């Protein structure tokens, strides 16, 4: 079985959204390995004093147990364009280290900055994030996600975004999109204009 990843935003020495990462980490261990013991990542992840302030990605690699915890300085990539690509056999319910399927799809994106995966006729995610769309009044995320991301779960629980079925033909009802993930928060992530 392939190793899994939990990526956590570390900002100014504090792990962000940790309760949602704990939930996903422990659910994956239970569902994939049958492990019931609850791990509190806040107690396990030791942030080095040498990091100081700033923005870092805490990357946890694990299978049955945590194997690696590493910290990397983080700069968000700029996404201004998305290429719709169909892939009906993609399966990324868990955050696997092996991202070969995304690498293959990214090779087909042309001049676009990233891809927007269409599975069985429904909009899902980009290569590295969930996505939300604005109709000018509210923000909506597809109910057909590939990975139920921690930021997505948090925003839904807070009522900041809602779910809906989104197809390529319904994209015309939206003007803007935003990629969201553990490292890209809703408030500061730049808008992507929808030109499909």
Task: Name 86's bridge partners.
Answer: 118
- Fold classified for 82-193: D-amino Acid Aminotransferase; Chain A, domain 2 (3.20.10)
- Percentage of the chain lying above the pLDDT 70 cut: 98
Per-residue pLDDT of the chain (196 residues; tens, 9 = 90+): 689 999 999 999 999 999 999 999 999 999 999 999 999 999 999 999 889 889 999 999 999 999 999 999 999 888 999 999 999 999 999 999 999 999 999 999 999 999 999 999 999 999 999 999 999 999 999 999 999 999 999 999 999 999 999 999 999 999 999 999 999 989 989 888 776 6
Q: Answer whether 142's CB lies under 8 Å from 163's CB.
A: yes
* Look-up of token digits 């704990």: 22
- The reply to whether 4-73 and 82-193 are identical in fold is no
Question: Domain 4-73 has what CATH class?
Answer: alpha beta
Per residue in 55-79, pLDDT (tens digit) is 999 999 999 999 999 999 999 888 9
Instruction: Please report how the helices 150-158 and 18-33 are oriented relative to each other, as an axis angle in degrees rounded to 10.
Output: 120
Domain ranges of the chain: 4-73, 82-193
């Amino acid at each position: 079985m392939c190793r899994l990843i939990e990526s956590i935003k570390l900002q100014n020495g504090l792990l962000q959204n940790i309760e949602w990462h704990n939930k996903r980490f422990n659910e994956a261990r239970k569902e994939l390995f049958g492990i019931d013991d609850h791990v509190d990542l806040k107690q396990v992840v030791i942030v080095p004093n040498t990091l100081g302030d700033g923005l870092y990605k805490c990357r946890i690699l694990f299978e049955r147990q945590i194997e690696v915890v590493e910290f990397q300085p983080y700069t968000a990539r700029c996404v201004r364009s998305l290429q719709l690509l169909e892939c009906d056999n993609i399966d990324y319910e868990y955050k696997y280290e092996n991202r070969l399927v995304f690498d293959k799809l990214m090779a087909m994106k042309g001049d676009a900055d990233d891809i927007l995966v269409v599975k069985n006729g429904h909009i899902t995610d980009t290569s590295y994030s969930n996505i939300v769309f604005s109709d000018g009044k509210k923000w909506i995320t597809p109910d057909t996600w590939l990975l139920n991301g921690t930021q997505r779960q948090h925003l839904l629980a807070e009522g900041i975004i809602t779910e809906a079925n989104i197809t390529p033909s319904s994209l015309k009802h939206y003007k803007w999109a935003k990629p969201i993930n553990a490292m890209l928060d809703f408030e500061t992530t730049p808008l992507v204009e929808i030109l499909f």
